[in-house]
Structures are given as structure tokens and as C-alpha cells.
């Protein structure tokens, strides 16, 4: 989840909303890679989730990172809720999931180094406390009642609202983890093409990175339960955004959609003000019930944009949001996959050719089938394994064309090797976990903790 935005003057004209997004346009030489991943902290003594307070806790981990590695604390009232350093941020999800939002980097090699450094720092602080971190898409055993609640006003409001809409919102907040990458665009047209490819091929990422076949202590019938959760969360702010594929799509069309999504809050002077279900359009007119007579700032708009959760999201960059968290090679492979498709024009064109003839029904069908069947999904004659194989080939080609050297390699394509193995075998992490569960683990889900921890 995002931290509160700051800065930005008052919104004086409607055009500023689209202009805010358009300000993200930059030439290809300035494109960067921002990788985010979440992980579940747990106590090795009990395998229970990590509480916020105590000698072995979220607070203790954050304070340890602050004191040992020079991170600057982010506070909400008296509570430490995050850290920042050199363009990167560490934040908390509602159930205490620890998230690294990495700095904007030039290469996937740098992303790998950043992730390794972060996990090393976390292990050095958390290990002596008897704390480890689990990398899967959904908490395999813990119930909702088991989960701690982080001291963030935003989450209290969201929890209340999630109970009113959909059926799986609190599951998403407290018991899921994802890995995503944030990528740049050059222009409005480039944004539209990248967003279309991102949405259409998001089921490929869901399948390739599926790692959540367990929930509430049992097999759940899906390769990615995390993806299943998003389908029953809040239809007003989630999904595959069919309008993106229509003629006339651009910054303004996306703005129109976000404006119609009900608000959660307004952030003022360190306090989250309840604006649940209210309209940002009313806010623009000075008629928001939560703040009568007051008009929004650009930071309010930036905050509101963080409360929409489609499979791919636009702010001043595009976020690819369809993947489960997983082992370290997968955390690196996710940005590599999308960078290869998005940051080479030939690969991007070919990726769009893969999906441009699909209907909205096919795209949605693949989204559903990917969560259930992973790479074995098939909808209307479209076999997801075939699409994944071709998308992976295009991504490899795009990374080779970028020719970004590092780690003794001429390019970044080797970071996709773990996905190539999955496509070759037709199996992903979820398939391997299920095999172990029904085989050597003998149905004991506690075995997942040491095997899937960082």
C-alpha cells in the first residue's frame, strides 16, 4: 500500500488531473525500473504472524533497520510505520507484510542487487530475534483472526469499507503478498499501448508466478488464491478495465474512471479523514461531505489514485500488479519479464500482436482461468502455456536488444531462466508446492515455512 503523498498545490482546473499523469512522460533514456515486493514475517518458534509490538516484532525490525543500516523512519503519530533511504521505501501492509518499494533503477541487474541487499539487511536484523519472512502469494495457514493490525489510519478506514463491498477485501489486505514492477512511458500513445499489453498479458504473469494454492490451512483449488481474492474485492476499483481497449483511450479517459471510484479518505496533518464512499467529483466542487467547502490539492488526487486496484494501474508510471510473491529468483524475474516486453519497441509491438484480437470476455476468462489452473489454463482456444511461451521469447529478445550488461553478462535475459524452466516443464511454484504437500510433506503445511522463506 502507498504512503501518503505530499506537495502539490490546489487543483484549480479539471485539466490538471490528466496533466498530473502526463507529467510522467519521459524519453526512453530516462526510463527506470521500480520493483516492489511484500513478504510475511513470522516467529520461528510458533510459526505465528509477526506482531507489531514486542521484542520480536515489526516495530523491532523497522527500528533495527533504522539503527543498523541508516534508514530514515516514517512515522504516523508515535508509531514507526516505514523507512526511506536513497529513493527506496520500506512500508507495512495491513497485516504486517513488509514491503520494499525499490528505488528507480536502470537495469534488472541492479534490481537483483537491491533485493539481495534488502533481504540480507532484514535477515541480519530479524534472524537474532527468531523472525523470518515467507515469500508466497497468500498466507497458507493463518486465519483472519490470527493477523495483527498495523497502526495506520488508512487501513482502519479501508478495513471498514472492505466489509461493506465484495467478499474478499480483508483477505487481500491482511493475508496476501505480491511482487510488482513499475515502468515508465514516453507519451500518451506509449502509455496506452503499454497499458493494453500489461492488462491483456497480466494472466500470463499470474500463471507464471502463482504460489498460493493454500489458504486457511488447506488446498484451495487455485494455483493463485491471491488472484482469486482480487476478483471478489470491489468491482468499482478492480479488474481488467475493458475501456482501456476502446477507441479514445488516453490520460483523460483513465482520469474519468478514477473519478468515478468512491473515495476512501483525505489525508490532513497526519490524520486520515473518513471519506468512505464519497465522490472526488464532489471534492473538486468543494462539496465533499467530509470537508465541506474545501477543494483538493494535487496530493489528494495522487492519494486517490492509489486507491484503485486494477490488474495494471497508471499513475505517473504503469504498475504491473498480477503476480504472487515468491522466491528471490522470481522477484527478479518479474521485472525482467515486463522490462523485456515494455522497454523494447519491437517486443512491445509483437506483444500487442499476441493479444490485440482478444475480446474483453477472453481477457477476463484468462484472468479467471490463470488463477485456477496456472499455465494449464485455456479459454476459447487460447492456451495460456502457448501464450506464456511466446511472451517469454519476446521478453528474452527485448532484454537482449537492450544489451544492458552486468554480473558478467552481456544482457539481462538470464534473469528469465527460472521462467523458461517453468514454461518448459509446464509447472510453476504452486504446482511444486502441491506435489510436496501431497507427497513428502504428508499434508503438513508447516513444512512450507522453512522451504519458502528468505
* Residue 332 pLDDT level (bands cut at 50, 70, 90): very high
The C-alpha cell of 353 is what? Answer: 500482436
| Domain assignment present for 5 | no
Is residue 230 a part of any domain in this protein?
Answer: yes
- Note the pLDDT of residue 6: 53
Q: Is 419 contained in some domain?
A: yes
CB environment 352-375: b (16+ within 10 A), e (fewer):
bebbeebeeebbbbbbbbbbbbbb
Q: Is residue 10 part of a domain?
A: no
Q: What is the pLDDT of residue 342?
A: 98
Q: List, for residues 192-228, the tens digit of each pLDDT value.
A: 999 999 999 999 999 999 999 999 999 999 999 999 9
Q: Mean of the pLDDT values across residues 342-354?
A: 98
> Per the structure block, which three cell numbers stand in for 180?
510488482
Radius of gyration of the chain (CA): 21
Give the pLDDT confidence score for residue 280 in this predicted structure. 98
pLDDT the model gives residue 270 = 86
The half-sphere exposure of 233 on its side-chain side, counting CA atoms within 13 A, is 24
At 160 the pLDDT is 84
Q: How confident is the model at residue 23 (pLDDT cuts 50, 70, 90)?
A: very high
Predicted pLDDT at 8:
72
Dig out the grid coordinates for 239 from the structure.
479488474
* Number of domains present in the structure of the chain: 1
Q: For residue 5, is pLDDT > 80?
A: no
Is the pLDDT assigned to residue 4 strictly greater than 80?
A: no
What percent of the chain stands above pLDDT 90?
95
* 328 lies in some domain: yes
8 in any annotated domain: no
Q: What does the pLDDT look like over 72-96, one tens digit per residue? A: 999 999 999 999 999 999 999 999 9
265: CATH: 3.30.590.20
User: pLDDT, tens digit, for every residue of 126-140?
Assistant: 999 999 999 999 999
Report if residue 2 sits inside a domain.
Answer: no
- Rounded CA-CA distance 394/384 in Å is 15
Tens digits of per-residue pLDDT, 276-287? 999 999 999 999
pLDDT digits (tens, 9 = 90+) for 101-122: 999 999 999 999 999 999 999 9
Does residue 225 belong to any structural domain of this protein? yes
Residue 151: give the domain boundaries: 15-451
pLDDT of residue 3: 54
Instruction: Give the mean pLDDT of the chain.
Output: 97
As a whole number, mean pLDDT of residues 362-391 equals: 98
Span 37-86, pLDDT tens digits:
999 999 999 999 999 999 999 999 999 999 999 999 999 999 999 999 99
Residue 310 scores a pLDDT above 90: yes
- Per-residue pLDDT reduced to its tens digit, 153-187: 899 889 988 988 989 999 999 999 999 999 999 99
Question: Higher pLDDT residue, 368 or 163?
Answer: 368
Question: What was the pLDDT predicted at 339?
Answer: 99
DSSP secondary structure, 101-164, as one string: EPPPBS-HHHHHHHHHHHHHHHHHHHGGGTEEEE-SSB-SS--GGG----S-HHHHHHHHHHTT
Torsion angles phi and psi, residue 409, rounded to 5: -110, 150
Return all residues near 253 (Cβ < 8 A) that are at least 6 apart.
243, 244, 246
Q: What was the pLDDT predicted at 309?
A: 98
Amino acid at each position: 500500500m502507498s504512503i501518503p503523498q505530499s506537495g502539490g498545490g490546489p487543483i484549480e482546473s479539471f485539466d490538471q488531473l490528466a496533466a498530473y499523469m502526463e507529467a510522467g512522460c519521459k524519453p526512453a533514456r530516462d526510463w527506470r525500473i521500480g520493483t516492489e515486493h511484500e513478504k510475511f514475517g513470522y516467529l520461528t518458534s510458533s510459526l505465528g504472524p509477526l506482531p507489531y509490538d514486542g521484542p520480536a516484532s515489526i516495530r523491532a525490525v523497522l527500528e533495527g533497520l533504522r539503527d543498523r543500516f541508516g534508514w530514515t523512519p516514517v512515522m504516523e503519530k508515535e508509531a514507526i510505520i516505514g523507512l526511506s533511504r536513497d529513493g527506496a521505501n520500506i512500508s507495512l501492509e495491513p497485516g504486517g507484510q513488509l514491503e520494499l518499494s525499490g528505488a528507480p533503477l536502470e537495469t534488472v541487474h541492479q534490481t537483483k542487487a537491491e533485493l539481495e541487499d534488502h533481504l540480507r539487511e532484514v535477515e541480519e536484523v530479524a534472524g537474532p530475534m527468531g523472525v523470518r519472512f515467507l515469500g508466497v502469494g497468500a498466507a497458507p495457514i493463518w486465519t483472519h483472526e490470527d493477523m495483527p493490525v498495523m497502526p495506520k489510519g488508512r487501513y482502519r478506514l479501508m478495513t471498514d469499507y472492505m466489509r461493506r463491498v465484495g467478499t474478499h477485501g480483508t483477505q487481500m489486505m491482511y493475508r496476501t503478498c505480491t511482487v510488482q514492477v513499475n515502468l515508465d512511458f514516453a507519451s500518451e500513445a506509449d502509455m496506452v499501448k503499454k497499458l493494453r499489453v500489461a492488462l491483456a498479458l497480466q494472466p500470463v504473469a499470474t500463471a507464471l508466478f502463482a504460489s498460493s494454492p493454500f489458504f486457511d490451512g488447506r488446498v484451495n483449488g487455485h494455483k493463485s488464491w491471491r488472484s482469486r481474492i482480487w476478483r471478489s474485492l470491489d468491482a468499482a476499483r478492480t479488474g481488467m478495465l475493458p475501456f482501456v481497449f476502446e477507441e479514445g483511450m488516453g490520460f483523460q479517459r483513465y482520469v474519468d474512471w478514477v473519478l468515478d471510484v468512491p473515495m476512501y479518505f483525505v489525508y490532513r496533518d497526519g490524520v486520515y479523514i473518513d471519506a468512505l464512499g464519497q465522490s472526488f467529483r464532489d471534492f473538486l466542487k468543494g462539496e465533499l461531505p467530509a470537508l465541506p467547502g474545501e477543494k483538493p490539492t494535487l496530493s489528494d488526487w495522487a492519494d486517490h489514485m492509489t486507491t484503485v486496484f486494477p490488474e495494471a494501474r497508471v499513475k505517473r508510471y504503469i504498475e504491473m500488479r498480477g503476480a504472487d510473491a515468491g522466491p528471490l529468483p522470481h522477484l527478479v524475474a518479474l521485472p525482467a519479464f515486463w522490462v523485456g516486453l515494455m522497454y523494447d519497441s519491437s517486443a512491445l509491438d509483437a506483444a500487442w500482436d499476441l493479444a490485440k484480437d482478444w475480446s474483453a470476455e477472453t481477457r477476463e476468462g484468462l484472468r479467471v482461468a490463470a488463477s485456477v489452473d496456472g499455465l494449464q489454463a485455456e479459454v476459447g482456444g487460447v492456451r495460456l502455456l502457448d501464450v506464456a511461451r511466446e511472451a517469454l521469447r519476446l521478453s528474452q529478445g527485448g532484454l537482449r536488444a537492450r544489451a544492458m550488461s552486468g554480473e558478467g553478462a552481456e544482457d539481462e535475459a538470464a534473469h528469465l531462466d527460472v521462467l523458461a524452466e517453468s514454461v518448459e516443464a509446464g509447472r510453476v511454484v504452486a504446482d511444486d508446492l502441491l506435489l510436496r504437500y501431497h507427497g513428502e510433506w504428508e499434508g503438513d503445511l508447516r513444512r512450507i515455512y522453512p522451504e519458502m522463506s528468505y
